[in-house]
């Protein structure tokens, strides 16, 4: 990139005119003159919707002094003749790290870090940096600025991409100059994320922990302000930046939901910086108030040439590859307002191409231009000076040789604050054509072809001679080897003729003249046609555009299953009610509910609806399996960095596109409780879901569920198997665990008292009184004491089971469920007396020291003692065979078949307090039912149909259709990617999907 020479001369003058910098000393004499620049004859795009042909743009100093078609040009104006060119406002990137030091990754340290290493009276947590100000750290960087200027940007927002609270950003100009001159706006936007970034501090270790920390911090800032407590500088600064417009960076479209919820909690309307996959949450965005920052970054096609290696490439990645360029147009189609950013774009040269691609994929040109100009200008509160070409606005504009969206169009100049940057220097004259070169008595035919920027010349005598033909500052350099292999060098001027002098190989100087004899004729390139590469069918495959599936991956729906009226006849019903197991019976469902159980009841409504009839002869119909202990469909599982993480909510970390949801439907599972892991004594708030494959995270949650929290005892909570370094976080023994509970419940009671006192104060008293601190951890623990939240406690050894019951008794509450509870059989009498239920494994043992005394008869003993007993999975594979696990209660403990079946259906429903709606075949309950090919607990039985809310989410037939659809779609996309490869487009290596195989002790 070159700057205009004359502008460089005046640059200093411009600097000195800036009011704020008048106190800067000048090293030399002061220039005071500012010339007017007149850009004439171009088509000027004043904004995305308005353009003027053959218009004039007048610029002086940093500003536009006039724009229009019939305006006077001052006599002394410097004229820029731009016939045929297009002028646009320069782009604004609302998301960059320009001018800030790159955040260096700190080395991973295996030693736990419980406290912050940051010096100063700042936050306890290193991931919170509300005190950071981009303006205080900004230093212009020419080479980075150039890369943005070359893409067409004039102004950018700059923030530091580290931490959960990232402080305030600055809007800066990309022009040359000192930081003081370039700051356009400071401290008007605040930045957040759900990723702790570079902090090595243990907390937060999970996604839901990040959200909890962010929420707690905001409450703390408000609290500190109320109490006039300025001791914590981070809280003081956080309170300040809370008033700014907030931007939050997300790593996944599912997190949009988290940002929206956070926004509602704190009345913050977040601008959402997504990752280019926001279209996947399009159904949730129809009424969004949030603006988006959309990266113009699309994945390249993958290298799919090896059919086996290609297996590692998931259909969701392939589908996203195809649909990613449509992200912007899909957002626009539901009325979402967004700005584009070049953030995330690795090769900045792709920027304009990607912009044009979004238009090819359906975004209007106007919307695309707005997303680069007026929308970000408003977003950054600089619309009064940037984003439009109007009198009085800053002179930030782009000169393109053709209309911007024309794929051949090139950015020639980018003017920033009245300073022009040449991006592409076009030769003023097209030298191509056929010439006659006269030199030293010889007459040689000389052809110039190629492109105007990259000329190719040759002398076309019998033996074609290669010629070097270069134009430099209006002088023409020619050199070639003649037939004697002597080099002849010429330098001339002019266009037609070109005249000048040169030196022969013998050293003699001669003059030459070159006359044009014919103009250049372009021979159109042969275009490669896909049809030549593939047969016709494949071409249709390639040209087809895929639909978005729900979820957009293998086994995703093209159409959501419907609630039909279905009648099952002549089958065996496992009612889980007093009727027990009924043979040769019927059952009807309608509108998501069971409406009749048994032949008599069915007869009454038989003609009321138009039933689909399923002949259940030889088959068994049961209520759906409910898994009390699962870690599927989550993006993280443990916030184990502190003894209590009651503040974290598993519902925040839902991952509704987990294929295990579909797989478990195939195993007859209709509901699962998604639990926090067992890394600490007080875990997180549980999420109960129905297996509504294809639904959003919010839709997946079980509506009527009572809140639960996970507790844990034993080896995991004392970090027994965490390696040699993890020996410092309290507790490290079972003795410590007891104290964690006493402490937590004692503090929760005190917390309640504090707040009760506060609530009794009058409004005026409140103003002058110290407000108690809202503590998300204690607030949750208090819910337990107030019987608003139940506990399910991961437990093995009898001593600690008894301990926790003692704690509960002394604090006057009841434990709802002991989960895993492998030594439950040793203390079944005490559990019964306390009133807790049990959710255990059928036959697991010997994987940890503490499960040495686990026995497969455990469930049966507990059940025999009259304790509500369930079998859980804690494992995504075994979860789909919980029917077989139930059978083991029959095998090992002689439990009756009917009772054993309840271990995985009605009993977990009771433990979860959802037995009023699910868990048995009863009129009025949800139609969460499963049709089995055989006795449901037989190893030879298969699920034939699984319904959730009366919707058929799995059946053998549907599954076969889904597999066919998967493979057709894969085949189509593979051919499409191969076509990209054959066209020479850039491709990327295959990346395997991240595996999310969580157990209780997964450390994240």
Partner 1 sequence: MTKMKNLLFILSTLFALQAFAQTPAPDQSKRVLLYGATAHIGNGEIIESSLIIIENGKISTIEDASKIRIDISDADYYDVIGKHVYPGFILPNTTLGLADIDAVRASRDFDEVGELNPHIRSIIAYNTDSPVLPTIRTNGVLVGQITPQGGMISGTSSIVEFDAWNYEDALYKEDDGVHLNWPQSPRLDRNHNHSEDSKVEYNDDLLDLEHFFNNAKSYYLSNKPKLDITFKAMEGIFDGSKQLFIHVSSAKGIKQAVLFAKKMNVQKLVLVGAEESWRIADFIAENETPVILNRVHRLPTYKNDAVDMAYKTPKILQDAGVLFCLDYEGDMERMGSRNLPFTAGTAVAYGLTKEEALTSISLSTAIVLGIEETVGSLEIGKDATLFVSDGDALDMMTNRVTLAFIRGKKLDLGNHQIDLYNKYSQKYKRNLEIENGLE
Could you say which of 226, 891, 981, 1003 contacts partner 1 (CB under 8 A)? 891
Question: Which of these ranges, 338-346, 557-565, 759-767, 992-1000, lies near partner 1 under the rule CB under 8 A?
Answer: 992-1000
Give me the helices (H) in 763-821, please.
Answer: 763-768, 776-785, 798-811
**Closest CA relative to residue 364, chosen from 324, 323, 405, 336:** 405
β-bridge pairing 2-3 and 620-623: unpaired
Question: Which of these ranges, 514-522, 539-547, 753-761, 962-970, lies near partner 1 under the rule CB under 8 A?
Answer: 962-970
CA distance 238 to 256: 22
Question: Which of these ranges, 471-479, 507-515, 806-814, 853-861, lies near partner 1 under the rule CB under 8 A?
Answer: 853-861
585 three-state secondary structure: strand
Could you say which of 138, 825, 903, 996 contacts partner 1 (CB under 8 A)? 825
C-beta of 17 vs 884, nearer to partner 1? 884
Q: Count Cβ atoms within 10 A of the Cβ of residue 946 and give its class: 0-12 exposed, 13-18 middle, 19 or more buried.
A: buried
555-574 residues near partner 1, rule: CB under 8 A: 555
| Binding of residue 890 to partner 1 (CB under 8 A) | yes
| Binding of residue 964 to partner 1 (CB under 8 A) | no
β-bridge pairing 36-45 and 86-89: parallel
| Binding of residue 802 to partner 1 (CB under 8 A) | no
- From the CB of 967, what's the least distance to partner 1, in Å? 8
CA distance 136 to 153: 23
Question: Which of these ranges, 214-222, 589-597, 977-985, 987-995, lies near partner 1 under the rule CB under 8 A?
Answer: 987-995
Could you say which of 72, 115, 312, 384 contacts partner 1 (CB under 8 A)? 312
C-beta of 880 vs 951, nearer to partner 1? 880
Question: Which of these ranges, 116-124, 333-341, 509-517, 890-898, lies near partner 1 under the rule CB under 8 A?
Answer: 890-898
827-864: burial string, b at 16+ Cβ within 10 Å, e else: bbeebbebebbbbbbbbbeeebebbeebbbbbbbbbbb
Could you say which of 31, 884, 913, 987 contacts partner 1 (CB under 8 A)? 884
C-beta of 54 vs 963, nearer to partner 1? 963
- Which residue carries 């936007």 as its tokens? 189
Could you say which of 275, 296, 331, 554 contacts partner 1 (CB under 8 A)? 554
**Closest CA relative to residue 914, chosen from 646, 676, 650, 689:** 689
| Binding of residue 937 to partner 1 (CB under 8 A) | yes
CA distance 210 to 214: 6
- From the CB of 910, what's the least distance to partner 1, in Å? 22
CA distance 871 to 841: 5
Q: What is the DSSP string of 371-431?
A: TTTHHHHHHTT-TTTSSS--TTSB--EEEESS-TTSTT--EEEEEETTEEEES-PPPSS--
CA distance 796 to 720: 14
Could you say which of 856, 923, 981, 1003 contacts partner 1 (CB under 8 A)? 856
- The beta strands (E) that lie in 520-668 are given as 566-574, 581-590, 593-597, 612-615, 620-623, 625-630
Could you say which of 829, 898, 961, 983 contacts partner 1 (CB under 8 A)? 829
Other C-beta atoms closer than 10 Å to the C-beta of 814 total: 14
- From the CB of 669, what's the least distance to partner 1, in Å? 12
C-beta of 97 vs 962, nearer to partner 1? 962
**Closest CA relative to residue 903, chosen from 934, 863, 930:** 863
SS3 sequence of 922-973: CCCCECCEEEECCCCCCCCCCEEEEEECCEEEEEHHHHHHHHHHHHHHHHHH
Could you say which of 375, 776, 855, 914 contacts partner 1 (CB under 8 A)? 855
Site pattern 642..681 for partner 1 (x: CB under 8 A): -----------------xx-xx--x---------------
What are the structure tokens assigned to 411, written together? 């950015």
CA distance 152 to 2: 15
Could you say which of 861, 914, 974, 979 contacts partner 1 (CB under 8 A)? 861
CA distance 412 to 152: 10
CA distance 710 to 681: 9
Could you say which of 649, 718, 881, 922 contacts partner 1 (CB under 8 A)? 881
Could you say which of 966, 980, 1003, 1004 contacts partner 1 (CB under 8 A)? 966
Could you say which of 826, 834, 922, 925 contacts partner 1 (CB under 8 A)? 826
- From the CB of 353, what's the least distance to partner 1, in Å? 24
| Binding of residue 314 to partner 1 (CB under 8 A) | yes
C-beta of 328 vs 889, nearer to partner 1? 889
Other C-beta atoms closer than 10 Å to the C-beta of 210 total: 27
| Binding of residue 848 to partner 1 (CB under 8 A) | yes
DSSP bridge partners of 585: 571
976 three-state secondary structure: helix
| Binding of residue 941 to partner 1 (CB under 8 A) | yes
Could you say which of 162, 181, 284, 316 contacts partner 1 (CB under 8 A)? 316
- From the CB of 281, what's the least distance to partner 1, in Å? 20
| Binding of residue 296 to partner 1 (CB under 8 A) | no
782 CA to centre of own chain: 34
C-beta of 354 vs 881, nearer to partner 1? 881
What's the alpha-carbon Rg for the chain, to the nearest Å? 36
Angle (CA) 636 639 643, round 5°: 160
| Binding of residue 283 to partner 1 (CB under 8 A) | no
| Binding of residue 940 to partner 1 (CB under 8 A) | yes
329 conformational bin, left if phi > 0, alpha if psi -120 to 50, beta if neither: alpha
| Binding of residue 948 to partner 1 (CB under 8 A) | no
| Binding of residue 888 to partner 1 (CB under 8 A) | yes
Question: Which of these ranges, 100-108, 563-571, 593-601, 881-889, lies near partner 1 under the rule CB under 8 A?
Answer: 881-889
C-beta of 306 vs 384, nearer to partner 1? 306
Could you say which of 970, 977, 978, 996 contacts partner 1 (CB under 8 A)? 970
Write 852-858 long-range contacts (CB < 8 A, 24+). Answer: 853/822, 853/823, 853/826, 854/796, 854/822, 854/823, 855/822, 855/825, 855/892, 856/888, 856/891, 856/892, 856/893, 857/825, 857/892, 857/893, 858/821, 858/822, 858/823, 858/824, 858/825, 858/893
- Which residue carries 């804690």 as its tokens? 874
C-beta of 92 vs 672, nearer to partner 1? 672
β-bridge pairing 2-3 and 63-68: unpaired
| Binding of residue 511 to partner 1 (CB under 8 A) | no
Question: Which of these ranges, 247-255, 322-330, 393-401, 849-857, lies near partner 1 under the rule CB under 8 A?
Answer: 849-857
C-beta of 393 vs 801, nearer to partner 1? 801
- From the CB of 881, what's the least distance to partner 1, in Å? 7
| Binding of residue 233 to partner 1 (CB under 8 A) | no
* 485 contacts 468 by C-beta, under 8 angstroms: no
Site for partner 1 (CB under 8 A): how many residues? Answer: 70
| Binding of residue 777 to partner 1 (CB under 8 A) | no
Site pattern 711..750 for partner 1 (x: CB under 8 A): ----x----xx-----------------------------
| Binding of residue 945 to partner 1 (CB under 8 A) | no
| Binding of residue 963 to partner 1 (CB under 8 A) | yes
Q: In the complex, which residues of this chain contact partner 1 (CB under 8 A)?
A: 308-309, 311-312, 314-316, 553-555, 659-660, 662-663, 666, 715, 720-721, 825-826, 828-829, 843-849, 852-857, 861, 864-865, 875-878, 880-881, 884, 887-888, 890-891, 893, 897, 933, 935, 937-942, 959, 963, 966-967, 970, 989-994
């Amino acid at each position: 990139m070159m700057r205009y020479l004359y502008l460089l001369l005046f640059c200093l003058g411009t600097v000195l005119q800036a009011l704020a910098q008048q106190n800067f000393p000048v090293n030399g004499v002061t220039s005071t003159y500012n010339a007017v620049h007149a850009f004439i004859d171009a088509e000027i795009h004043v904004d995305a919707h308005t353009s003027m042909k053959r218009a004039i743009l007048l610029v002086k100093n940093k500003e536009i002094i006039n724009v229009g078609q019939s305006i006077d040009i001052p006599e002394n104006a410097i004229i820029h003749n731009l016939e045929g060119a297009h002028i646009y406002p320069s782009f604004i990137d609302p998301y960059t790290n320009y001018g800030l030091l790159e955040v260096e990754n700190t080395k991973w340290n295996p030693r736990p870090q419980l406290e912050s290493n940051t010096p100063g009276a700042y936050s306890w947590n290193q991931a919170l940096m509300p005190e950071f100000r981009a303006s205080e750290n900004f230093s212009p960087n020419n080479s980075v600025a150039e890369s943005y200027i070359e893409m067409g940007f004039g102004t950018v927002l700059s923030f530091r991409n580290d931490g959960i609270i990232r402080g305030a950003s600055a809007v800066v100009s990309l022009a040359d100059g000192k930081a003081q001159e370039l700051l356009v706006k400071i401290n008007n936007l605040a930045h957040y994320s759900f990723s702790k970034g570079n902090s090595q501090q243990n907390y937060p270790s999970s996604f839901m922990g990040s959200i909890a920390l962010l929420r707690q911090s905001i409450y703390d800032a408000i609290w500190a302000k109320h109490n006039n407590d300025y001791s914590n500088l981070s809280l003081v600064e956080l309170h300040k930046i809370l008033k700014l417009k907030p931007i939050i960076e997300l790593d996944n479209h599912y997190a949009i939901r988290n940002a929206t919820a956070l926004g509602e909690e704190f009345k913050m309307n977040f601008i959402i910086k997504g990752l280019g996959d926001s279209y996947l949450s399009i159904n949730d965005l129809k009424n969004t108030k949030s603006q988006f920052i959309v990266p113009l970054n699309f994945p390249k096609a993958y290298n799919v040439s090896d059919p086996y290696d290609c297996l590692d490439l998931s259909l969701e990645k392939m589908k996203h590859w195809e649909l990613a360029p449509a992200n912007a147009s899909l957002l626009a189609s539901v009325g979402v307002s967004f700005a584009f950013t070049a953030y995330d774009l690795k090769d900045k040269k792709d920027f304009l191409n990607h912009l044009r691609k979004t238009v090819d994929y359906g975004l209007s040109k106007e919307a695309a231009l707005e997303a680069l100009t007026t929308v970000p200008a408003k977003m950054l509160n600089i619309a009064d000076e940037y984003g439009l070409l109007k009198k009085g606005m800053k002179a930030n504009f782009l000169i393109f040789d053709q209309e911007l969206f024309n794929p051949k169009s090139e950015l020639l100049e980018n003017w920033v604050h009245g300073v022009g940057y040449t991006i592409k220097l076009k030769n003023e004259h097209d030298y191509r054509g056929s010439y006659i070169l006269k030199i030293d008595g010889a007459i040689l035919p000389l052809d110039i072809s190629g492109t105007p920027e990259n000329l190719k010349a040759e002398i076309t005598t019998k033996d074609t001679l290669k010629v070097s033909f270069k134009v430099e500052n209006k002088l023409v350099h020619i050199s070639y080897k003649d037939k004697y292999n002597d080099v002849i060098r010429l330098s001339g001027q002019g266009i037609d003729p070109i005249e000048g002098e040169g030196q022969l190989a013998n050293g003699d100087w001669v003059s030459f003249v070159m006359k044009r004899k014919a103009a250049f004729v372009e021979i159109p390139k042969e275009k490669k046609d896909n049809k030549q590469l593939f047969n016709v069918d494949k071409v249709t495959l390639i040209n087809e555009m895929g639909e978005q599936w729900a979820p957009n991956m293998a086994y995703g729906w093209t159409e959501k299953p419907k609630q039909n009226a279905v009648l099952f006849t002549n089958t065996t019903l496992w009612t889980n009610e007093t009727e027990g197991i009924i043979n040769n019976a019927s059952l009807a469902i309608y509108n998501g509910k069971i409406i009749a159980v048994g032949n008599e009841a069915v007869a009454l409504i038989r003609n009321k609806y138009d039933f689909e009839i399923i002949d259940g002869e030889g088959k068994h119909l049961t209520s759906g399996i409910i898994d009390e202990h699962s870690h599927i469909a989550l993006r993280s599982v443990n916030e184990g960095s502190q003894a209590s993480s009651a503040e974290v909510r598993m519902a925040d970390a839902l991952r509704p596109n987990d294929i295990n949801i579909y797989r478990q439907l195939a195993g007859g599972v209709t509901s699962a409780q998604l639990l926090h892991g067992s890394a600490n004594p007080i875990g997180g708030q549980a999420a109960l879901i129905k297996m509504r494959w294809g639904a959003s995270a919010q839709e997946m949650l079980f509506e009527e569920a009572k809140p639960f929290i996970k507790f844990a005892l034993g080896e995991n909570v004392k970090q027994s198997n965490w390696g040699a370094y993890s020996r410092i976080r309290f507790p490290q023994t079972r003795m410590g665990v007891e104290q964690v509970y006493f402490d937590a419940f004692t503090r929760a009671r005190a917390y309640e008292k504090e707040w009760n006192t506060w609530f009794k104060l009058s409004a005026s008293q409140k103003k002058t009184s110290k407000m108690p601190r809202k503590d998300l951890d204690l607030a949750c623990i208090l819910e337990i004491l107030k019987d608003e939240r139940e506990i399910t406690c991961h437990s093995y050894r009898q001593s600690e089971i008894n301990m926790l019951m003692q704690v509960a008794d002394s604090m006057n509450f009841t434990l709802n469920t002991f989960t895993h509870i492998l030594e439950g059989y040793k203390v079944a009498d005490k559990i019964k007396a306390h009133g807790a239920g049990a959710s255990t494994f059928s036959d697991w043992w010997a994987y940890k020291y503490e499960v040495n005394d686990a026995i497969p008869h455990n469930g049966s003993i507990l059940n025999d003692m009259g304790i509500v007993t369930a079998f859980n999975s804690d494992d995504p594979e075994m979860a789909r065979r919980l029917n077989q696990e139930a059978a083991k209660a029959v095998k090992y403990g002689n439990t009756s078949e009917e009772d054993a079946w309840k271990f995985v259906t009605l009993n977990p429903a009771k433990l979860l307090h959802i037995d009023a709606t699910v868990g048995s075949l009863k009129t009025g309950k949800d139609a969460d039912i499963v049709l089995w090919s055989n006795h449901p607990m037989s190893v030879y039985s298969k699920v034939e149909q699984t319904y959730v809310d009366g919707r058929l989410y799995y059946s053998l037939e549907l599954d076969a259709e889904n597999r066919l659809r998967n493979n057709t779609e894969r085949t189509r996309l593979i051919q499409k990617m191969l076509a990209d490869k054959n066209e020479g487009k850039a491709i990327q290596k295959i990346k395997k999907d991240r595996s999310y195989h969580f157990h209780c002790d997964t450390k994240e």
